[in-house]
């Protein structure tokens, strides 16, 4: 006789398994086994037992241990070398050293560079780990040289570096002008001198340029001094009032006002500017003096401005003693 389905055993769900090991333990735990299912119930007549209940769920596994530390990273590459820049009219850094080497690392950085801008050769530093580039130094449009003729700033003038101005600490009585003084005519009040390299402490050799000087030979002021140089040799009237400047007058250095008229040139004062090394004519004048015009001066040659006494006669070149300077005692129209 078949069993009554309605009397079959009832399925029961077993108990859940135990939890795994504690995550803070030094060892990982395993999930516990599921509990046994409840016994199935028998049918009415007790012939067949019911199907056993489903076993309980296994417990959660324990938390795994922390992974080991990672290995060290590779060394970074070295940085590239920087740039050292020295720029002025006269750079004097030959006793210095500039190191622009690239940095060390997994691979060395590229070398840097040293940039020198100077109007005088040989003043740059000794460079290490760097390429060196040389350029012209500070220059500007010189009002005493006709045309688009930029000339270097002269270092250490009164008021600071400028295209023109009065020498500082060097006057007409300096030994560098002994031949100019000894060879001057008795009625000479000023001298115009051209030099390859400046006098005394101004002996910087500006590449491609000569120094032109207006020298007051007497202890009193000379009024309305003027000077001009025309490299083309054409303008016999080109000349400018003497001026002074320096960094205190230049906006670039926080100054103001620009170059100023000198007015009279003081007793024994020496005014300087630079001109190109080529040929050209010099014009100069001062109040109550015989000026010079259309005068060619080579290096070491001098021309004198003399007192007005009647109509001055032209005088040929005369060899001066001392430094062997050639003198030109010239009238206002002597070339």
Distance of CA 235 to the CA centre of its chain: 39
Residue labelled with tokens 């417990």: 59
- Top pLDDT among 14 and 176 is at 176
Average pLDDT of the segment spanning 220-242: 97
Comparing CA positions, the residue from 142, 106, 156 lying closest to residue 276 is 142
**What's the CA gap between 47 and 94, in Å, rounded?**
118
Q: How many C-beta atoms lie closer than 10 Å to residue 286's C-beta?
A: 22
What was the pLDDT predicted at 309? 72
Mean pLDDT of the residues in the chain:
79
Q: Is the dihedral of CA 319, 325, 326, 332 positive or negative?
A: negative
* Res. 3 pLDDT band, cuts 50 70 90: very low
Lowest pLDDT segment from 41-50, 87-96, 123-132, 299-308: 41-50
Q: Is the dihedral of CA 161, 216, 213, 292 positive or negative?
A: positive
Residue 311 φ/ψ, nearest 5 degrees: -100, 115
Q: How many C-beta atoms lie closer than 10 Å to residue 226's C-beta?
A: 17
* Res. 317 pLDDT band, cuts 50 70 90: very low
What was the pLDDT predicted at 272? 98
How far CA 319 is from CA of 10, 197, 285, in Å, comes to 143, 20, 23
Q: Which residues on adjacent β-strands are paired with residue 241? A: 226
Comparing CA positions, the residue from 221, 226, 219, 257 lying closest to residue 241 is 226
Give, for 182, the enclosing helix (H) or strand (E): helix 178-182
* Res. 126 pLDDT band, cuts 50 70 90: confident
Q: How many C-beta atoms lie closer than 10 Å to residue 190's C-beta?
A: 25
pLDDT of residue 258 exceeding 80: yes
Output the furthest CA–CA distance in the chain (Å, rounded): 170
Residue labelled with tokens 């012209």: 136
pLDDT of residue 143 exceeding 80: yes
What was the pLDDT predicted at 329? 44
Q: Is the dihedral of CA 303, 309, 314, 320 positive or negative?
A: negative
Residue 188 φ/ψ, nearest 5 degrees: -80, 135
Q: 87-114 pLDDT, tens per residue?
A: 778 887 777 887 877 666 666 667 778 8
The whole-model pTM stands at 0.68
How many Cα atoms occupy the beta-carbon half-sphere of 251 within 13 Å?
A: 2
What was the pLDDT predicted at 318? 36
What was the pLDDT predicted at 149? 80
Average pLDDT of the segment spanning 56-84: 74
Average pLDDT of the segment spanning 300-317: 69
Q: How many C-beta atoms lie closer than 10 Å to residue 124's C-beta?
A: 22
Lowest pLDDT segment from 115-119, 151-155, 303-307: 115-119
What was the pLDDT predicted at 334? 39
Contacts of 107 (CB under 8 A, 6+ apart): 77, 78
Residue labelled with tokens 């010189």: 142
- Top pLDDT among 176 and 4 is at 176
Q: How many C-beta atoms lie closer than 10 Å to residue 44's C-beta?
A: 10
């Amino acid at each position: 006789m078949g069993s009554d389905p309605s009397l079959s055993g009832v399925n029961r769900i077993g108990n859940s398994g135990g939890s795994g090991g504690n995550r803070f333990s030094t060892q990982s735990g395993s999930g516990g086994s599921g509990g046994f299912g409840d016994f199935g119930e028998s049918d009415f007549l007790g012939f067949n037992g019911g199907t056993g209940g489903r076993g309980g769920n296994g417990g959660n596994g324990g938390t795994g241990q922390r992974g080991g530390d990672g290995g060290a990273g590779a060394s970074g590459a070295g940085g590239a070398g920087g740039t050292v820049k020295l720029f002025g009219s006269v750079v004097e850094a030959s006793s210095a050293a500039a190191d622009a080497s690239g940095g060390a690392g997994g691979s060395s950085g590229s070398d840097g560079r040293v940039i020198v801008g100077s109007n005088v050769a040989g003043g740059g530093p000794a460079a290490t780990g760097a390429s060196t580039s040389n350029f012209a130094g500070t220059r500007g449009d010189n009002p005493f040289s006709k045309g688009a003729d930029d000339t270097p700033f002269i270092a250490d003038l009164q008021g600071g570096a400028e295209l023109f101005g009065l020498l500082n600490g060097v006057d007409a009585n300096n030994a560098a002008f002994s031949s100019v003084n000894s060879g001057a005519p008795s009625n000479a009040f000023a001298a115009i001198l051209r030099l390859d390299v400046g006098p005394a402490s101004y002996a910087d050799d500006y590449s491609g340029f000569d120094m032109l000087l207006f020298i007051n030979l007497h202890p009193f002021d000379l009024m309305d001094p003027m000077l001009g140089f025309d490299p083309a040799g054409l303008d016999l009237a080109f000349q400018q009032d003497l001026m002074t400047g320096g960094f205190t007058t230049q906006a670039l250095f926080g100054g103001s006002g620009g170059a100023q008229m000198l007015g009279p040139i003081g007793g024994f004062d020496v005014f300087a500017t630079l001109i190109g090394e080529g040929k050209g004519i010099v014009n100069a004048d001062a109040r109550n003096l015989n000026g010079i015009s259309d005068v060619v001066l080579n290096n070491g040659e001098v021309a004198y401005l003399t007192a007005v006494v009647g109509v001055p006669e032209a005088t040929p070149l005369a060899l001066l003693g001392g430094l062997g300077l050639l003198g030109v005692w010239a009238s206002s129209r002597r070339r």
